[in-house]
Amino acid sequence: MLTRRTVLASSTALAASAAFATRVAAAPAAEAVTPALIEAAKKEGKVVWYTSIDLAVAERLAKSFEAKYQGVAVRVERSGAERVFQRIGQEYSSNIRAVDVVNSSDASHFVAWKRDGWLAPYVPEDVAKFFPAEHRDPDGLFATCRVTLSVIGYNTTLVKAEDAPKSFADLLDPQWKGKIVKSHPGYSGGTMTATYQTARDLGWEFFEKLARQNVMQVQSMTDPPKKLALGERAVMSDGAEYVLALLKEDGKPVEPVYAVEGSPLINGPNGIFKGAPNPNAARLFQSYSFSPQAQQLIIDVGGLRSVHPQAKEKSGRKLLSEIKLMKDDPAAVEKMSDEIKARYTKMFRV
């Protein structure tokens, strides 16, 4: 466990963690789940969760919450993180308050929402007790609910293991022309995060060359693994590690590749909105999301990774400590996201 935490810690934004260290003292006190909170949540009867987690996984988490707290229904509003961000912005600018809790695979969104003052402070007990400082906001507005990677992958019936690409550089080989599927940073927050890290470490030339490989352009980072499983394309240049893991465990002919240059790291925080129409149910759901039970669930049935030290990695999956990671940097993504979208659209034409 220690190793995983250390790795995660070292891989997180330096600028952010430096700021965190001095201000932790100001964080609001942790709040336990009290019978009064449960009662109030039941009175509200529902919670609306905007998320970019793969729909099937998100609904499983929602159903487990509903089973534990009967009488509080979860409505999952699932779309790509960039779409979720746009939707919330569009709704808020029209004075529509629909979202209670949000989860985004683009951690930079929380930088923006925090700056706008849209998030409500709330620190679940588990977050206060167990979560590493670099995975929680010093002001108690959000914490990392899930971790995953953007990985390369291939279809094992179409590509032999020894022929599979080992690196981002390999993807540019002419043999993969017309055989690659990839997701879109204008839709997917995970892909936005990954595009930033890849362009930073390998340069935009990589994407310029990749664009000439006639890629199949899908939207969500959960889609390339599904297209691989169908055999629609042989290789994916980016895609959600957790969806690929689930498909592989389900017996589909897919295999991840952890690129030698490093795999982009994607942290997905959860936070509550100040304008939440169901504030108590939102708190209850937020607490539940960080509980050992939920964190174990997202590993076991979701293929995701958790920073909760009590959550156990599922056997057979590669440990994060064994993987070379790229560094995440939400503050930088926040500054560059419009530019990344514009550059990407220009290169890939959609």
Partner 1 sequence: MTVTAVAPARRARLDLSWPVLIGFALILCALIVLPMSWLVYFSVTDKGHFTLANFVKLATDPTFIDPLVTTVILATSSAVICCAVAAPMGWLIARTDMPLRRTIRALVTASFVTPPFLGAIAWELLAAPNSGLLNQAWRALLRDPQAEPLFDIYTLPGLIFVVSCYTFPYVFVLVANALDRIPGDLEDASSILGGRTWTTARRVTIPLALPALLAGALVAFLQAMTLFGSPAILAIPAGFHTMTTKIWSLFQYPPKLELAAAASLPLLVLTVLLLRAEHMILGRRSYALVGGRQSDPRLVRLGAWKWAALGFAFLVLLNPVFLPYGALLNAAFSRVATQIVSFGNFTLRNIEFVFFELSATKLAVRNTLILGVSSATVGTLIAVVISYVTARKAIAGWRALAFLATAPIAVPGIVLGVGLFLSYTRPPFVLYGTLWILLVAFVTIALPAAYQQLQAAFRSVSVDLEEASRILGATRLQALAHITAPLLRTSVIATWCFIFVGVIRELSAAIILFTSETKVISVLIFDLNESGDLGAIAVLGLIMLVITFAVVIAINRIPGFGAIRLRNA
296 CB-contact burial (10 Å; exposed 0-12 / middle 13-18 / buried 19+): middle
By C-beta, is 175 or 214 nearer to partner 1?
214
By C-beta, is 58 or 325 nearer to partner 1?
58
Interface region with partner 1, contact rule CB under 8 A, candidates 19-27, 126-134, 321-329, 339-347 = 339-347
By C-beta, is 35 or 251 nearer to partner 1?
251
- Interface with partner 1 (CB under 8 A), residue total 57
Interface region with partner 1, contact rule CB under 8 A, candidates 10-18, 49-57, 133-141, 264-272 = 49-57
Which residues 6+ apart lie within 8 Å of 211 measured at CB? 347, 348, 349
304 touches partner 1 by CB under 8 A: no
Which residues 6+ apart lie within 8 Å of 191 measured at CB? 150, 182, 183, 184, 185, 221, 238
How many CB atoms sit inside 10 A of residue 273's CB?
22
Among 103, 108, 191, 220, binds partner 1 (CB under 8 A): 220
162 touches partner 1 by CB under 8 A: no
Least separation in angstroms between CB 95 and partner 1: 7
Which residues 6+ apart lie within 8 Å of 127 measured at CB? 30, 136, 143, 290
Least separation in angstroms between CB 73 and partner 1: 7
Which residues 6+ apart lie within 8 Å of 81 measured at CB? 52, 104, 105, 106, 109, 188, 189, 190, 192
Q: How far apart are the first and last CA of the chain?
A: 42
340 touches partner 1 by CB under 8 A: no
* Tokens linked to 168: 């981002």
- State the binding string over 52-81 for partner 1 (x if CB under 8 A, else -): --xxx--xx-xx---------xxxxxxxx-
By C-beta, is 42 or 341 nearer to partner 1?
341
Which residues 6+ apart lie within 8 Å of 317 measured at CB? 245, 303
Report whether 148 contacts 154 (CB < 8 A). no
Least separation in angstroms between CB 195 and partner 1: 15
> Rounded to the nearest 5 degrees, what angle is found at the Cα of 76, between the Cα atoms of 75 and 77?
115
Angle (deg, nearest 10), helices 279-289 and 35-44:
120
- State the binding string over 79-118 for partner 1 (x if CB under 8 A, else -): xx-xx-xxx-xxx-xxxx-xx-------------------
Least separation in angstroms between CB 263 and partner 1: 21
Report whether 276 contacts 102 (CB < 8 A). no
Among 4, 226, 248, 283, binds partner 1 (CB under 8 A): 226
Report whether 149 contacts 142 (CB < 8 A). no
By C-beta, is 92 or 204 nearer to partner 1?
92
- State the binding string over 230-259 for partner 1 (x if CB under 8 A, else -): xxxx------------------x-------
* Tokens linked to 104: 């985004």
* Tokens linked to 253: 């002919």
| Three-state SS at 267 | strand
160 touches partner 1 by CB under 8 A: no
146 touches partner 1 by CB under 8 A: no
Q: Where do contacts with partner 1 occur on this chain (CB under 8 A)?
A: 48, 50, 54-56, 59-60, 62-63, 73-80, 82-83, 85-87, 89-91, 93-96, 98-99, 186-187, 214-220, 222-223, 226-227, 229-233, 252, 338, 341, 345-346, 348-350
